[in-house]
Amino acid sequence: MATQHSRSAARIMMAPAVILLLGWMLVPLTMTVLFSFKKYLPLRGGDLGWVGFDNYIRFFSSSAFWPSVQVTLVIVGGVLAITVVFGVLLALLLDQPMWGQGIVRILVIAPFFVMPTVSALVWKNMFMDPVNGLFAHLWKFFGAEPLSWLSEASMQSIILIVSWQWLPFATLILLTAIQSLDSEQLEASEMDGASPLARFIYIILPHLGRAITVVVLIQTIFLLSIFAEIYVTTQGAFGTRTLTYLIFQRVLESQNVGLGSAGGVYAIILANIVAAFLMRIVGKNLDS
Amino acid sequence: MGRITLDKVTKSFGTAQVIPPLDLTIEDGEFTVFVGPSGCGKSTLLRLIAGLEDVSSGQIRIDGEDATMTPPAKRGLSMVFQSYALYPHMSVRKNIAFPMRMAKMPQEEQDRRIEAAAKALNLTDYLERRPGQLSGGQRQRVAIGRAIVREPSAFLFDEPLSNLDAALRVGMRMEISELHKKLATTMIYVTHDQVEAMTMADKIVVLRAGYVEQVGSPLDLYRAPRNLFVAGFIGSPKMNFIEGPEAAKYDAHTIGVRPEHISISADEGPWSGVVGVSEHLGSDTFFHIHDTGLAETITVRADGEVSFHHGDRVHLTPRTDVIHRFDTAGLRINQ
């Protein structure tokens, strides 16, 4: 890769992919930015001309804005905490030699293959339905009043559904990381007098640092934009309106493309702030 | 103190018995080397002593106390692993401190021991580095440092030098021997390299397929190998084995003559053959002689200045006083 010739050849070879990706990203991004400076109401007159920063100011000063940011961050944080903690524990469990290991591993990973819409529907109708749901039956079996999950504990329910979907991903990544731990290190620490808990804290957890970082970063990217789970269950009611959902409502329900686009730009900024924080906190694990 | 006794110890993995009943005593302060070809059970034996594997039956006693069921950390033994098994995310200092930290030793005592170990092992300048930033030899020393600070009753080494290059290996061999002289602690050392065994050991245990073939000092094993396996394993280059009528002259089924006990000359000697490959080491020359009618090749050690060429016909004279005789079962016949 050192000669002038091979370097320019490499550039030409990569160009199609780079151009395609850039186009894929840049065209929607430019259009979003463009629309955000316009009053654009498709069903009420169409393109009504440039309005400067009006859309930004309206979106920002709307009473729905800050709660939606908060909801987004709570869902992301909650799901991250649950998937990382239980992911580590499940990975430890699955790493133990046991009968039927292959089947158990496939079953554990299965939720990841279920589409978000489908899984949210299954949760909503089969588990969380206050009349016919499995949880309602369970509650009644113990003589308790069934909970109407999605209205009384809406945030917890959504976090539960999304965590269920993402736990397999975290478990899978962490399991492969645990399997790559040199068994002599564990034996050495055992000789050094480390208890099982100390071995976990001083040997296994630091070894998992990088894998946890990857899990957190990848999941954050996807969790900031969760939509289907909310659309199918609460439709943004009961304090579950995320920023993504707010934008959807502005664009499709209020038919205000300009206002929604301004929200989209805010979402980009929020994602960057979160990413910067995460890189600051966990990014150092990616070094060395 | 560190007297380790194995009493009818066996180990099976499933139905495969890796260690048949085995008795062995390692005296306090002794440098014992387990040597044998790969797969002979020497590492398993070491892991049984360490407590990393459970024995299938039998008893392990350390200083007279039954330690068969004692967890590894409570046996008072330190182990140096083949891969060094350093903790990659901890600095050298923390690596060395780890066993003391686990034992909740006071900080001043920890620091004192770390300084002492670092000084003894030339690691003082590297204490704040991570294992990843060290060379193989330095990592090896960190692993030894981590073993020393616990002041164990015995050290266990599992092929510690096999990942080092040849020059470094010789250096570390000396350092470990030096350490043993200084600490006078029991050391058990596993290797497949008979040179390491010969140069370091007070006592060598030759193992094959889990069986102890012979136990003794390096020179005992060299002078009086108990059977063909030990005779072939100890000594470099390998002993020459001759069967047939030549062996019958000595009332044996097989006779063994070491390369260093044969002299080579151009014109006189009872055996003759054609020079094949000759290896010039400077100090010595090893000739591989073919077509002797005795064995496929006979290896001869000669002085570095002796020179024969490929295809030369030469004559060999064995030293009859140091010929080893073996019977049909491969066991030594004493003179």
Instruction: Mark yes or no for CB contact B102/A193 under 8 Å.
Output: yes
Pairwise CA distance, residues A271 & A189, whole Å = 41
Nearest CA in chain A to B151: A192
Rg (chain B; Cα; Å): 24
Average pLDDT in the B263-268 region?
88
- The minimal CB distance from A191 to the residues B78, B88, B103 is found for B78
Nearest CA in chain A to B74: A193
| Contact status of B150 with chain A (Cβ, < 8 Å) | yes
Pairwise CA distance, residues B29 & A123, whole Å = 68
Pairwise CA distance, residues B162 & B96, whole Å = 22
- The minimal CB distance from B50 to the residues A189, A191, A288 is found for A191
Reply yes or no on whether the pLDDT at A189 is more than 80. Answer: yes
User: How do residues B211-262 score in pLDDT, each as one tens digit?
Assistant: 899 999 999 999 999 999 999 999 888 999 998 888 888 888 999 999 999 9
Pairwise CA distance, residues A221 & A48, whole Å = 34
Instruction: Mark yes or no for CB contact B79/A191 under 8 Å.
Output: yes
Instruction: Mark yes or no for CB contact A191/B132 under 8 Å.
Output: no
| Contact status of B203 with chain A (Cβ, < 8 Å) | no
ipTM of the complex: 0.80
Nearest CA in chain B to A196: B102
Res. B18 pLDDT band, cuts 50 70 90: confident
- Residue A255 located in a structural domain: no
Nearest CA in chain B to A192: B99
Pairwise CA distance, residues B245 & B223, whole Å = 24
Instruction: Mark yes or no for CB contact B98/A189 under 8 Å.
Output: yes
Measured between alpha carbons, how far is residue A227 from residues A29, A77, A125, B279 in Å? 19, 16, 18, 76
User: And the tokens for A200?
Assistant: 């976990």
Buried b (16+ CB within 10 A) or exposed e, B183-194: eebbbbbbbbbb
- The domain locations on chain B are 4-230, 237-326
User: How do residues B180-222 score in pLDDT, each as one tens digit?
Assistant: 998 889 999 999 888 889 999 999 999 988 889 999 999 999 9
CA B307 to chain centroid, in Å, comes to: 33
Tell me, what CATH number does A144's domain have? 1.10.3720.10
User: How do residues B127-167 score in pLDDT, each as one tens digit?
Assistant: 999 998 888 888 988 999 999 898 889 999 998 888 888 88
Pairwise CA distance, residues B77 & B188, whole Å = 10
- Arithmetic mean of pLDDT over chain A: 87
Q: Sort out which chain B residues have CB atoms less than 8 A from A212's CB and list them.
A: none
**Chain B contact probe: residue of A180, A184, A192 with most B CBs at under 10 A:** A192
pLDDT above 90 as % of chain B: 35
**Chain B contact probe: residue of A191, A195, A207 with most B CBs at under 10 A:** A191
The predicted pLDDT at position A79 comes to: 95
Residue B254, SS3?
strand
Nearest CA in chain B to A186: B85
- The minimal CB distance from B73 to the residues A193, A202, A206 is found for A193
Q: Confirm if B48 and B60 have CB atoms less than 8 A apart.
A: yes
Instruction: Name the burial class of residue B170, with classes exposed (0-12), middle (13-18) and buried (19+) by CB atoms within 10 angstroms of its CB.
Output: middle
The predicted pLDDT at position A129 comes to: 83
Instruction: Mark yes or no for CB contact A193/B99 under 8 Å.
Output: yes
Number of domains in chain A: 1
User: How do residues A91-123 score in pLDDT, each as one tens digit?
Assistant: 998 888 888 888 888 888 888 888 989 999 999
Residue B273, SS3?
strand
The predicted pLDDT at position B95 comes to: 92
Reply yes or no on whether the pLDDT at A283 is more than 70. Answer: no
Instruction: Mark yes or no for CB contact B89/A209 under 8 Å.
Output: yes
| Contact status of B99 with chain A (Cβ, < 8 Å) | yes
- The minimal CB distance from A206 to the residues B85, B89, B102 is found for B89
- Residue A135 located in a structural domain: yes
Q: Confirm if B262 and B318 have CB atoms less than 8 A apart.
A: yes
CA B175 to chain centroid, in Å, comes to: 15
| Contact status of B52 with chain A (Cβ, < 8 Å) | yes
User: How do residues A60-83 score in pLDDT, each as one tens digit?
Assistant: 888 888 999 999 999 999 999 999
| Alpha-carbon gap: B86 to the closest alpha carbon of chain A (Å) | 7
Structure-token match 């630091």, residue found: A206
- What residues in chain A have their Cβ under 8 A from chain B's Cβ atoms? 182, 184-185, 187-195, 198, 202-203, 206-207, 209, 288
Residue A263, SS3?
helix
**B237-326: which CATH topology?**
OB fold (Dihydrolipoamide Acetyltransferase, E2P) (2.40.50)
Architecture of domain B4-230: 3-Layer(aba) Sandwich (3.40)
- Residue A1 located in a structural domain: no
pTM of the model: 0.79
The sign of the torsion formed by the CA atoms of B19, B25, B28, B30 equals negative
Reply yes or no on whether the pLDDT at B15 is more than 70. Answer: yes
User: How do residues A213-263 score in pLDDT, each as one tens digit?
Assistant: 889 888 988 898 888 888 988 888 888 888 889 999 888 888 888 899 999
Look up the domain containing A96 and give its range.
65-240
Query: Which one, of B254, B263, B264, B186, lies nearest residue B29 by Cα?
Result: B186
